[in-house]
Copies of this chain bind each other. A is one copy, B any other.
Amino acid sequence: MEEEVVSEENVTPVDEAEGADQEVEVTEEDARLAEIAELNNRLLRVQADYDNFRRRSREEKEAAAKYRSQNVIEALLPVIDNFERALLVKPEAEEAKSLLQGMEMVYRQFQDTLKSEGVEVIETVGQPFDPHLHQAVMQVEEEGFESNQIVEELQKGYKLKDRVLRPSMVKVNA
């Protein structure tokens, strides 16, 4: 980068016309150099924007992939709730018992499939109450439990990886 710029002061004007000519050349040269600097700046800026966009884009993609099942799983939570309620029966008839057994297997397969997608049931009874994971529906005074410890679960809560889909509804010891 050997830039050789003619400085006016170094050339004693021979006559006025030549000086003027010299000045025009200097101005053009300056304009070129300014243009080069400006282009280099713009190039750096665009390149930096592009790099930032690529990075953000990759991060967004990863986050989207991590939680992509969230919508459908949230929509399935009421199905799981009803499935569990339907399994609460205690049948007497052999026919009903074997039907129930079959349904329990389907339920376990359902739960296992969701687990393998990153769904976890939030732990409750015996755990300390955590407002990020649990919703206290009732306060009770129960012996054998510490203060702020969960006494009973009223509705299951679920997490998808590190994200809470629905907090557990619980009874907490006062």
Residues of A participating in the B interface, judged by any CB pair closer than 8 Å: 1-7, 10-11, 24-25, 28-30, 32-37, 39-40, 42-43, 46-47, 49-50, 53-54, 57, 60-61, 64-65, 68-69, 71-73, 75-76, 78-79, 82-83, 86, 89, 91-93, 95-96, 99-100, 102-103, 105-106, 109-110, 113-114, 116-117
CB-CB under 8 A from A117, the residues of chain B are: 71-72, 75
In angstroms, Cα B39 to Cα A92, docked, is: 85
Identical copies of this chain, number: 2
CB-CB under 8 A from A72, the residues of chain B are: 69, 72-73, 113-114, 117
CB-CB under 8 A from A28, the residues of chain B are: 4
29 CB < 8 A contacts A-B: A1-B34, A1-B37, A2-B30, A6-B6, A6-B10, A10-B11, A29-B29, A29-B32, A39-B39, A39-B43, A46-B46, A50-B53, A60-B61, A64-B68, A68-B68, A71-B117, A72-B114, A75-B116, A79-B106, A79-B109, A79-B110, A82-B106, A82-B109, A83-B106, A89-B99, A93-B93, A95-B96, A99-B100, A103-B103
